[in-house]
C-alpha cells in the first residue's frame, strides 16, 4: 500500500492511497491514479513519480527528492526506508496541444484538442481519442493521418511515430492537421495470386494459371462483377 500526493490532478484532494503489490511499476501507478480520478483521456506520459526521502544522519533531517523512472517499483523503494520517512508525489511534464479531427467517431464532432507529451506515439494518441468517447473499440481499428489539403498531401502515421514532434516540424502549422480514420477491413490482406509455381524433374520452374478456360475469355476478364486488384479508399473531406 502506498500513499501518493496527487494535487496536480485534483487540488481539493491531498493524496490517494493505493493498494498495489511489489511488481507494480511507476507507470502502473500513474495509470491507476488517472483511472481513479476518472481521467483516462489524459496522457499518462505527461506524468511521473518523485520520491521524497528524509535522511537523518547528523540529527538534522535532510530532504532528498528522487525522480523515479517508469520501471521503478514504489513498494520496494518504500520498504527501504523507515515508515514516515518517505512519500511519493505525482508530477507533470510539459507537453503540447495536438488537434485531432475525429468526425469518423461522431458526425457532429469537429476535433479534439489533446495535451500530450513529446514521447507519446500515434497509437497512444488514437487510444486517447477513443477514451474521450468511452469507446471500447480497439485502437488498431484506426489510424492517424497527417493531412495538408492545399498540397493534396496525406499519409498514415506509423503507430510508433510521435505526433507532437511531427507537428513541431510543420513549416506552416495552419495548413496541416491530424485526422483520425477508421481502417478499411481487408485492405491489409494478401493478394491471392492467380497462378501456382512448380519445379519439374530438371529443376525448371513451371507456372500454371489457376483459372478455367471460361474465366480467360475477354467477357470474363472485363466483367464489371470482378473485384479490382487495387484497394478502394474512402473519399476525403476537409474542413
- Where residue 185 falls among pLDDT bands split at 50, 70, 90? confident
**pLDDT tens figures, 118-165:** 999 999 999 999 999 988 899 899 999 999 988 889 999 999 999 999
The pLDDT-based confidence of 236 (bands split at 50, 70, 90) is very low
Same domain, 17 and 52: yes
Above 60 in pLDDT, residue 193? Answer: no
The upper half-sphere exposure of residue 150, i.e. CA atoms within 13 Å in the direction of its Cβ, equals 6
Domain range holding 103? Answer: 96-182
- In whole angstroms, what is the distance from residue 25 CA to residue 37 CA? 19
Q: Which of 92, 114, 130 is at the close of a domain?
A: 92
Examine the domain organization and report whether 72 and 132 are in the same domain. Answer: no
Residue 169 falls inside a structural domain: yes
Summarize pLDDT for 60-95 with one digit per residue, the tens: 778 889 999 999 999 999 888 878 788 999 999 999
Q: For the chain, give the mean pLDDT.
A: 80
Measured between its terminal Cα atoms, the distance across the chain in Å is 50
17 and 53 share a domain?
A: yes
**15 contact partners, CB below 8 Å, separation of at least 6:** 3, 4, 5, 6
Domain closes at, from 92, 111, 146: 92
Mean pLDDT on 93-112: 90
Would you say residue 124 lies in a domain? yes
Q: What is the mean pLDDT of the segment spanning 106-115?
A: 89
Query: In the listed set 61, 92, 123, which residue is the last one of a domain according to the structure?
Result: 92
Clarify whether residues 164 and 137 are in a common domain.
yes
For 143, list phi and psi in degrees, rounded to 5: -135, 150
Give the per-residue pLDDT at 197: 53
- For residues 46 and 93, the answer to whether their CB atoms sit within 8 Å is yes
Give the model's pLDDT for residue 59: 72
| CATH assignment of the domain containing 41 | 3.10.20.90
The arithmetic mean of pLDDT across residues 213-233, rounded, is 41
Q: In total, how many domains does the chain have? A: 2
Give residue for cell 495538408. Answer: 148
Percent of the chain with pLDDT over 70: 77
Collect all residues with Cβ–Cβ distance below 8 Å to 64 and sequence separation of at least 6.
Answer: 52, 53, 54, 55
**Predicted confidence (pLDDT) at residue 189 exceeds the cutoff of 80:** no
Give residue 34's pLDDT. 93
Give 66-74's long-range contacts (Cβ < 8 A, gap of 24+). 67/91, 68/26, 69/26, 70/25, 70/26, 70/27, 71/25, 71/26, 71/27, 72/25, 72/26, 73/22, 73/23, 73/24, 73/25, 73/26, 74/2, 74/20, 74/24, 74/26, 74/29, 74/49
Amino acid at each position: 500500500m502506498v500513499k501518493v500526493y496527487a494535487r496536480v490532478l485534483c487540488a481539493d484532494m491531498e493524496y490517494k492511497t493505493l493498494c498495489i503489490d511489489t511488481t507494480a511499476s511507476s507507470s502502473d501507478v500513474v495509470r491507476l491514479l488517472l483511472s481513479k480520478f476518472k481521467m483516462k483521456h489524459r496522457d499518462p506520459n505527461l506524468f511521473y513519480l518523485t520520491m521524497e526521502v528524509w535522511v537523518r544522519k547528523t540529527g538534522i533531517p535532510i530532504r532528498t527528492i528522487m525522480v523515479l523512472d517508469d520501471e521503478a517499483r514504489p513498494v520496494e523503494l518504500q520498504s527501504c526506508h523507515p515508515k514516515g520517512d518517505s512519500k511519493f508525489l505525482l508530477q507533470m511534464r510539459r507537453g503540447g496541444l495536438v488537434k485531432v479531427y475525429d468526425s469518423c467517431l461522431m458526425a457532429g464532432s469537429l476535433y479534439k484538442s489533446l495535451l500530450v507529451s513529446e514521447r507519446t506515439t500515434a497509437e497512444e494518441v488514437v487510444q486517447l481519442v477513443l477514451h474521450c468517447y468511452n469507446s471500447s473499440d480497439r485502437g488498431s481499428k484506426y489510424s492517424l493521418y497527417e493531412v495538408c489539403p492545399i498540397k493534396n498531401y496525406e499519409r498514415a502515421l506509423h503507430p510508433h511515430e510521435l505526433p507532437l514532434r511531427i507537428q513541431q516540424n510543420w513549416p506552416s502549422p495552419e495548413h496541416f492537421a491530424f485526422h483520425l480514420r477508421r481502417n478499411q477491413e481487408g485492405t491489409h490482406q494478401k493478394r491471392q495470386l492467380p497462378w501456382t509455381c512448380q519445379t519439374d524433374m530438371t529443376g525448371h520452374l513451371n507456372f500454371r494459371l489457376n483459372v478455367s478456360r471460361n474465366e480467360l475469355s475477354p467477357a470474363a476478364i472485363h466483367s464489371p462483377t470482378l473485384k479490382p486488384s487495387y484497394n478502394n479508399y474512402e473519399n476525403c473531406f476537409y474542413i
